[in-house]
Structure 1
Amino acid sequence: MPNKHQVAKRSSTWPKTGRSSCKICNNLDAKGHAASSHDAEALSGRTISLSLPVDALQLKKSRAGCRFCSVLAEALDAFFVDWSTVRAPIIVDLGFNVPVCASIRHVRYEDQQIEIYTSPGVRSPWPSIGSAASIPLSPDSDASFAFAQRCIDDCVSKHTVCQEAPAAQPTRLLYVGKDKESPIKLCELPYNRLKYAALSHCWGRGPSITTTKANLAARKKYIDFGAMPALFQDAVIIARKLGIGFLWIDALCIIQDCRDDWETESANMMNIYRCAHITISAVHPQSSDERIFAPRRKPIVLEYKNTQGKCTYLRARKLDRHHPDLGESRPARPHGPLMSRAWVLQEHLLCTRILHYTETELVYECRKVCRCECTSTWRGCVTTPGLLSKVPKSEAWDVWHRITAQYSLRKLTVPSDKLPAISGIAQNFRSCINAKDSDYLAGLWKSNLPQGLLWSSDSSLSAPVSTLRLSTYRAPSFTWASVDTQIRYTHSADEDLISNVRIVSASCTMRGMNPFGEVSFGCIQLEGQLIEGSLSAPHEHEFEYALQLQNSLTTIKVAPDTLLVVSARLGEADESYETVTRGGPSDVYSPFDRVGVWCLNLVSSSHEYVSGLVLALSPRTAGAYERLGTFSCGHEYFSGAQKRKLNLV
């Protein structure tokens, strides 16, 4: 019997509600509700399910009269502060002989849920509710390490798709040995093929210990474990516990003040993570000063009395909503600061096996399966490391577009890392489409032009006018890498699109040694229909700008790439005229009316409309054009328009 201090207290005696179902919570039972769904082909006991929206105010009132509502409300009290004041639905997911799950559709509680369940071996007080797997209270417990080791061993022994052929390893690895008595030092390769772990983590304000040209020789002799930040110490312990004698940590294995070394290692990032025996994903720490081994919150104990007054003890705990979505072919999505970082996307996509240390449990993924401490194994699901392992050619461009759209949501500390931080994915993707190095155009591909040019700002996400704007050149305007806007592709690869342009040439000039990294210039020369138009920014800020094409009285909505501003330019005869340009870091939104732009007809669809780009003359390259945004309109707007050659930079 639980300790009395662990049990959620009640202030009144339970009323007897009989067998009738509560109109608010349906007695936390999936049966007997109009919205219940049945699965006759289910392989498990979950043959019935119900996703029930519950109003917070109604639940607050009902908890005094319904013992089931009270159980739900007490669990919410424990984990979701002020839930009853939030005007958002509580979603209660019910099944048969499974835990009751509850979440709140509000940004404050995004991607969090609570589970109400019985302890294993304890009889359920009502048929719908069941037991849940026990999760150790500490991520460095023997049970958690045993879980991780089982996952890795099963993968190595059973999954042929996860057996990666030897490739170019990192230049350096940390030797950590097998126990705490082993000295730590930096080893320079080549050696024979080594088994190593790689760390994926948030830098925060930067690790307190790094490798530089000045201390490289000392690092090769000895690194003091006690001088390492807490996160690095935990990573060393994990590697040792899993029997892995080498560890790759970017801050220590890349010479941080050597540009050439950084470019060499960033260009090899695909192999660094692909060849690691396991990637350690520190999901929750925001910096290297925080521990991976943060203690987990204990489940609470709830007291439930039936109509005869018999007492049963239930448990409740908070979990991240990380499970893969089989219906939408979406992989597991652990939640924490790490998952918002741009560099991390390729670390997780390119690795073979990954162990996510989340706030509430361990989540393991390889190219074949996903496992977690709360649910054991998810088979037949898409996994993050498996997304690029086998990409059908027919789906390749859709995959690339989804990756870049997801990448655009993530944050970079150093803006110039935009292309290097995805270069490993690009390098891997090149083999999927059998392309050459030169086919890559700073985030786009020659083989996918012009469809690849049809990225646009996403109206359902951050407004492009509020995103970070660059003070220096990073990429040509035709690529999404030139802005920090959150983007989307509205056309799928199997859509019946007809190109209305002829690509004459396309190339980028690389800034460094990484053929998929930083660029100093890029240009696409093409031939297509180009007509004049005028662009307006509304007086009250809205997402879209208004475009009016020549000889038309109607306006068309434009999705701007970023904040657009008006500036004065000198023409050929030294006369001044207004033009639209992308805004700089110090510019603020200001309305403007009917300023001249150019509109390029890029593709036609079978639905009788065209999609294209809004352009303006480049302030950097004489005679060339730069991109401002995207539009769609009817074919008739371009009827009779002549084709001309232009350079897009």
Structure 2
Amino acid sequence: MERIEGRYVTLSHCWGKIEFLHLATTTLPRFEEGVELEALLKTFRHAFDISCRLGIRYIWIDSLCILQDSEDDWLYQSAQMDQIYNNSLCNISATAAENSTEGLYADRHEFQTWTDDIDLKTDGIPGRDDSRSIQKCTILDLAFWERIVDNAAVNRRGWVLQERLIAPRVLHFCHNQIAWECWEKEFAESRPDNLTLHQLIGGSVMDGNRLKSMIPTFNGRLLREERLRKSMHGKPWEIDEHLINAMPSIYCFEIWKRIVEVYSKALLTKPSDKLIALAGIAKLMSRRIMNGNDENYVAGMWRTHIEGQLLWRVDPVVRRGSFIFHSERPADYRAPTFSWAAVDTNEGIKYGDATDYGLSPDKYKFIAVDRVKIEQKTRDSFGVIVSGYIVVKGVLKKIAIFDSKRDCYTRYHWQLKKDGQILGETYKMIYLDAPKSDCPGILDYGSGNGFVDGRAYCLPVALDRVTSRSELDGSPQELVCLLLQSVKGEHGTFRRIGLTKISRYHSRSQEEVFELSKFGEEANMPCPWDPIAKKHTIRIIC
């Protein structure tokens, strides 16, 4: 095929459920001869019009540029997404359109784009200049960008997130106005002089996070401060500044964690695309985090500080007094269970505080990842995963997980087991990854067994919410643990089923939390035990 050079734009759009003309082996001859403009969907025609208005001759549209019935072409092209979007002049986004028949141009009402300016009478307000009784103010809509862009139809699609983040510029066609987004600024017709993003945390208005910005020392630091403030309920005096003032590489991890939290909520027509649809962003981040060392990418995470990255969770959803679990594991293998990519959930996954323990003293972490092995379908380190595992050194504890049907505050809880007996405290801060898929054997409390075959284990990983103040005054430090299930017939092999937190407030004594890592019966676990290092060797797989 003839090589074409020149500037080009790209298009992000919702495919929808309708059938439309697209590139395939059967339609390739027709495309080579030339397709009538009227044969294409309205969104495509509008995108061509915008491209022409910009003076750009070429446009890249996924459904028209990738052979949709060729797995080989799909694998090849999907591996090029970082180059395709990053090298484009601009990405045209059909932001508000539910499908490609709706187009980009919407009916507009000019008054809807007016800014909300008001004249506020300030007489009698303490601290106000009496000479100016009328103050011109602008009403801030903290949810403006979230409403017209972040939560719009196209940005709920999984593939679109990387298109939006990788492209240097995005032109959003929203329901009532056009918005602009680049790596440095956001604008909208109703905010033409730069859109200032804000958010409310702990009763205080703070600068908002710019999803598209990937500047570690600014946006990464802001994300880190936001996460720590949320964990301390917005109390800045609770935070040790050294936790905020980290190395630039740590700020990159903060950006990655936010991307994963947002992406894990997105919709995919093919769930098997979970990691592929993020590969372009991963390659971009690899160049920033790992200086292009692709081997550090591990199924949606990074080898550096991987111990903390294992501590993602799926929060339970409570509606009308009932616990609802939408999360489930896909029928077809996609990623090892230690990866967030192995779970589908409409609510997305969440990261806690204990995610960069490479910077913290060893006394705050209780595991070490000794070995990582990921096998891809192709040579692409960011491609489709065939199999994978990690080998962890830590101290395993046998537990029983129960269904708390009579408890209105939690659906599940767990307790320690020793010699087949239930003992110790009842722990209710439990986050199961996909209980309907993983835990069909959970029984009522009265059975005394928990899992029907007793294969549940707890692995203490790290202390969460570690601040200088918490060490000085004994404020709560949560012990974060992985919940594992042993694999039948494979000694030392486990699969992840969830995460749990143990607060000092919820234990019989403050010491019990830390004694978990010293509790007896170590040599009787279904995995190798090193009596010198006093650690188990645990292999976490499918």
TM-score when normalising by structure 1: 0.60
Q: 1:602 to 1:646 in 2, by over 3 A?
A: same
Separation in 2 of the partners of 1:492 and 1:554?
A: 23
Length, aligned pairs only: 420
> Could you say which residue in structure 2 is the equivalent of 1:637?
516
Q: Which amino acid aligns with 1:489?
A: Y
Deviation at 1:521, TM superposition (A): 0.7
Alignment equivalent of 2:258, drawn from 393, 402, 416: 402
> CA-to-partner distance for each residue in 1:227-285, whole Å, 9 max, x for gaps?
00111111111111111110010000001111111111111111111111110110111
% same residue: 27
Question: Are 1:283 and 1:334, in contact at CA under 8 Å, matched by a contact in 2?
Answer: no
> What pairs with 1:463-542 in structure 2 (closer than 5 Å)?
465-485=325-345, 486-491=348-353, 493=355, 496=360, 498-539=364-405
Question: Which secondary structure state, in structure 2, belongs to the residue aligned with residue 599 of structure 1?
Answer: strand
Question: Are 1:443 and 1:480, in contact at CA under 8 Å, matched by a contact in 2?
Answer: yes
- Greater alpha carbon shift after TM alignment, 332-341 vs 201-210: 332-341
Question: Are 1:367 and 1:389, in contact at CA under 8 Å, matched by a contact in 2?
Answer: no
Q: Which amino acid aligns with 1:564?
A: P
Separation in 2 of the partners of 1:464 and 1:644?
A: 35
> Could you say which residue in structure 1 is the equivalent of 2:413?
546
Separation in 1 of the partners of 2:349 and 2:31?
A: 42
Deviation at 1:466, TM superposition (A): 1.9
Question: Are 1:613 and 1:630, in contact at CA under 8 Å, matched by a contact in 2?
Answer: yes
> Could you say which residue in structure 2 is the equivalent of 1:610?
479
Which structure shows the higher helix fraction?
2
> Could you say which residue in structure 2 is the equivalent of 1:204?
16
Separation in 2 of the partners of 1:489 and 1:564?
A: 19
Find out whether 1:191 has 2:15 as its counterpart: no
Separation in 2 of the partners of 1:610 and 1:383?
A: 31
Which sections of structure 1, spanning at least 5 residues, go unmatched?
1-187, 301-318, 325-329, 566-580
Find out whether 1:556 has 2:427 as its counterpart: yes
Question: Which secondary structure state, in structure 1, belongs to the residue aligned with residue 101 of structure 2?
Answer: coil
Separation in 1 of the partners of 2:93 and 2:371?
A: 42
> CA-to-partner distance for each residue in 1:167-226, whole Å, 9 max, x for gaps?
xxxxxxxxxxxxxxxxxxxxx56333x211100011111550111122223312301100
Q: 1:453 to 1:544 in 2, by over 3 A?
A: farther
Deviation at 1:492, TM superposition (A): 5.6
Separation in 2 of the partners of 1:403 and 1:422?
A: 9
Find out whether 1:370 has 2:186 as its counterpart: yes
Larger radius of gyration: 1
Q: Which amino acid aligns with 1:245?
A: R
RMSD after superposition: 3.0
Question: Are 1:464 and 1:561, in contact at CA under 8 Å, matched by a contact in 2?
Answer: no
Which sections of structure 2, spanning at least 5 residues, go unmatched?
113-139, 198-208, 221-247, 471-476, 503-512, 521-533
> Could you say which residue in structure 1 is the equivalent of 2:473?
none
Q: 1:626 to 1:406 in 2, by over 3 A?
A: same
Separation in 2 of the partners of 1:345 and 1:547?
A: 37
> CA-to-partner distance for each residue in 1:499-549, whole Å, 9 max, x for gaps?
311222102111235421321111001111001111112225865520102
Deviation at 1:388, TM superposition (A): 5.5
> What pairs with 1:5-16 in structure 2 (closer than 5 Å)?
none
Alignment equivalent of 1:281, drawn from 93, 98, 103: 93
Alignment equivalent of 1:361, drawn from 177, 193, 200: 177
Question: Are 1:412 and 1:418, in contact at CA under 8 Å, matched by a contact in 2?
Answer: yes
Question: Are 2:354 and 2:462, in contact at CA under 8 Å, matched by a contact in 1?
Answer: no
Q: Which amino acid aligns with 2:352?
A: T
Find out whether 1:254 has 2:110 as its counterpart: no
Question: Which secondary structure state, in structure 2, belongs to the residue aligned with residue 376 of structure 1?
Answer: coil
Separation in 2 of the partners of 1:389 and 1:582?
A: 37
> Could you say which residue in structure 1 is the equivalent of 2:225?
none
TM-score when normalising by structure 2: 0.71
Separation in 1 of the partners of 2:143 and 2:8?
A: 27
Q: 1:589 to 1:338 in 2, by over 3 A?
A: farther
Deviation at 1:467, TM superposition (A): 2.9
> Could you say which residue in structure 2 is the equivalent of 1:577?
none
> Could you say which residue in structure 2 is the equivalent of 1:340?
156
Q: Which amino acid aligns with 1:645?
A: T
Question: Are 1:396 and 1:432, in contact at CA under 8 Å, matched by a contact in 2?
Answer: yes
Question: Are 2:309 and 2:355, in contact at CA under 8 Å, matched by a contact in 1?
Answer: no
Question: Are 2:310 and 2:339, in contact at CA under 8 Å, matched by a contact in 1?
Answer: yes
Q: 1:339 to 1:243 in 2, by over 3 A?
A: same
